[in-house]
């Protein structure tokens, strides 16, 4: 059972809600995934009148917990303002915090991220920071009040999978008691399974499902891969070896 900020969740898959061909396909994909959390990017204009309200109603009807995010924010101030608006719109203290520092890779700005995390944590937000795989940044975010970390696997939407498994494995070992969620860059179910086999607690997927040929089927595939990866991790897999090791014992073998 996954526990994040005191909330217990049956599924270890988080699903993004952007880029789907239609609202109906989005709804079908969320249901097929069994995801307990869906992320939603706040559009500033939706804070007034009825703009965007049909979409919000669709998301609420899915029954999953909503995790608003600050996607598209490039400064701490912008992210903080967006988070405050999201709390009013969605009536939740949860916020996926994104502060983008580089346009081509969408790499997070560690300085703005820590600054925003500290302010939002002091205001009672429960922050899910999108970060790179840097241990120092992770330490600073925890000191700022975060109790969950979301290191990237690869640049957002790239589908490259786990660019630096060594760094992710090191982070898992360095923070054994902190919930860690791989966020961004996942392209196939096997990538998600690999993250779970490293001991990560959950995986967030969006583009790989939304832009696939059959989003609902792909969402189900990710759900199965994450379950398999977690089972494999908990079953204590064998260590990799440089040399072969016979599976058939030599002792007792007949020699002629």
What is the three-class DSSP state of 143? helix
> In angstroms, rounded to a whole number, what is the distance separating the alpha carbons of residues 238 and 247?
13
Asked if residue 225 lies in contact with residue 193, where contact means CB atoms within 8 angstroms, the answer is yes
> In angstroms, rounded to a whole number, what is the distance separating the alpha carbons of residues 29 and 24?
9
Asked if residue 187 lies in contact with residue 159, where contact means CB atoms within 8 angstroms, the answer is yes
**Is 232 labeled as ligand-binding?**
no
Asked if residue 156 lies in contact with residue 149, where contact means CB atoms within 8 angstroms, the answer is no
For residue 112, report the phi and psi dihedrals to the nearest 5 degrees.
Answer: -65, -35
**Is 157 labeled as ligand-binding?**
yes
> In angstroms, rounded to a whole number, what is the distance separating the alpha carbons of residues 129 and 131?
6
**Is 69 labeled as ligand-binding?**
no
Q: Which residue in the list 31, 96, 169, 211 is annotated as catalytic?
A: 96
| Bridge partner list, 3 | 8
Asked if residue 231 lies in contact with residue 225, where contact means CB atoms within 8 angstroms, the answer is no
169 flagged as catalytic: no
Beta-carbon neighbour count of residue 248 at 10 Å?
Answer: 6
Annotated binding residues for 1-deoxy-D-xylulose 5-phosphate: 157, 184-185, 206-207
Annotated binding residues: 157, 184-185, 206-207
Q: Which residues are catalytic?
A: 96
């Amino acid at each position: 059972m996954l526990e994040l900020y005191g909330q217990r969740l049956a599924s270890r898959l988080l699903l993004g809600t952007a880029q789907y061909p239609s609202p109906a396909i989005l709804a079908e994909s969320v249901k097929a995934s069994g995801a307990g959390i869906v992320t939603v990017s706040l559009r500033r204009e939706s804070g007034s009148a009825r703009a965007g309200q049909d979409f919000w109603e669709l998301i609420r009807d899915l029954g999953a917990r909503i995790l608003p995010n600050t996607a598209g924010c490039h400064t701490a101030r912008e992210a903080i303002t967006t988070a405050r608006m999201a709390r009013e719109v969605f009536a939740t203290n949860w916020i996926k915090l994104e502060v983008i520092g580089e346009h081509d890779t969408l790499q997070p700005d560690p300085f703005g991220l820590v600054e925003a995390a500290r302010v939002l944590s002091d205001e009672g937000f429960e922050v899910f920071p999108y970060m790179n795989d840097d241990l120092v940044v992770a330490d600073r975010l925890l000191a700022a009040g975060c109790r969950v970390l979301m290191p990237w696997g690869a640049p957002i939407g790239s589908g490259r999978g786990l660019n630096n498994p060594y760094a992710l494995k090191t982070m898992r070992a360095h923070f054994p008691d902190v919930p860690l969620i791989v966020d961004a860059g996942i392209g196939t179910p096997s990538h998600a399974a690999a993250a779970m086999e490293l001991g990560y607690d959950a995986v967030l997927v969006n583009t790989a499902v939304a832009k696939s040929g059959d989003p609902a089927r792909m969402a189900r595939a990710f759900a199965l891969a994450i379950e398999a990866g977690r089972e494999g991790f908990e079953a204590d897999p064998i260590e990799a070896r440089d040399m072969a090791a016979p599976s058939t014992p030599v002792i007792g073998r007949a020699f002629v």
